[in-house]
Amino acid sequence: MEPDERGKFDVLLSNIGISPNVIAISESGIAHEFIIGNSMAENDIHFDDKFSKKLAQIVSKLHRENRINYEGSERCLVWKWLDLMLQEIEGSAQELPSFVNYEILREEVRKNRAIIEEADFPISLTHGDLKPSNIMILADNSLKLIDLELSGFNYRGFDLMKLYRADRAVFSVRTLLQHHIPIDFPCNEQEESFFKFLYEYHAEFNLLNNKTKKNIRAEVEQLALECRIFEPLTWLEVINANMKETTITSVIAQRRQLYFLSF
């Protein structure tokens, strides 16, 4: 974000009640009010309907916000992030793991971009790093979005998929048994919780149109397909050149596996 735009999205999100109030903005950073609560966990999203519904309503409210004009703004942020990632890798003096090929990685980004831009998916105001740890559960069980450094205009599908992509550990045998879920069908449970979330998310868009839940089922199914298109991109994270070699190897190996599993 440009220096003269610092805090723009933070102020807007606090004004609409979905993030902590902004206390001050300076060249050094942005100060928010101190709030007491706990960060969300994967289990809260996938296994707790009360939090899932509240979160769906908040994210829907964020994506519907239109008081900042997209025209003239920076292109969709995901492409900026991926370009920076490629530049970081290409210019790094540190040797990358042998299984990472820069040319193949660049081609994967190009192919994903061609598919997504041709589809012309909706662009909206997004969080940018929407994941459980960036959502606070307050004492009254209300929710607030935090860590807004990457907020800006992006694909809504990317925001939703990054939130709802599941760490495979969440659906481990132990966790599934704790929640009384048949261990033979973990993927079905994941799909069901994802669909419920999108149902509530999309229902918010239709309140003024008096549409019933029955009427929006096909639209929700289409939204789920839209989100799935973005899952591969959510696993292509920026690699920090200052990471230790063992950390880079571990992170890249994990992201590589999850990237190909998402197809």
The reported pLDDT for the residue numbered 72 is: 46
pLDDT at 17 over 70: yes
pLDDT at 241 over 70: no
**Per-residue buried b or exposed e for 238-256, using 16+ beta carbons within 10 Å of the residue's own CB:** ebeeeeeeeebbeebeebb
DSSP 172: S
Quote the tokens at residue 176: 């599934």
| pLDDT tens profile 91-143 | 775 666 776 778 888 998 999 999 999 998 999 999 999 999 999 999 999 99
Per the prediction, the chain carries an average pLDDT of 78
| Residue 116 amino acid letter | I
Asked if 49 and 196 count as a contact pair (C-beta separation under 8 A), the reply is yes
The reported pLDDT for the residue numbered 42 is: 82
Average pLDDT, integer, range 214-239: 80
Between 259 and 160, the higher pLDDT residue: 160
Q: Can you give the pTM of this predicted structure? A: 0.82
pLDDT at 59 over 60: yes
Which residues share a beta bridge with 138?
37
Quote the tokens at residue 186: 């973990």
Asked if 220 and 199 count as a contact pair (C-beta separation under 8 A), the reply is yes
Q: Alpha-carbon distance 58 to 143, whole Å?
A: 8
Between 58 and 249, the higher pLDDT residue: 58
Banded model confidence at residue 61, pLDDT cuts 50, 70, 90: very high
pLDDT at 227 over 80: yes
Strand 29-32, strand 22-26: pairing:
antiparallel
The reported pLDDT for the residue numbered 186 is: 44
The reported pLDDT for the residue numbered 26 is: 85
The reported pLDDT for the residue numbered 207 is: 62
| pLDDT tens profile 159-192 | 999 988 865 454 444 444 454 544 444 445 566 7
Quote the tokens at residue 66: 């239109």
Quote the tokens at residue 65: 């916000």
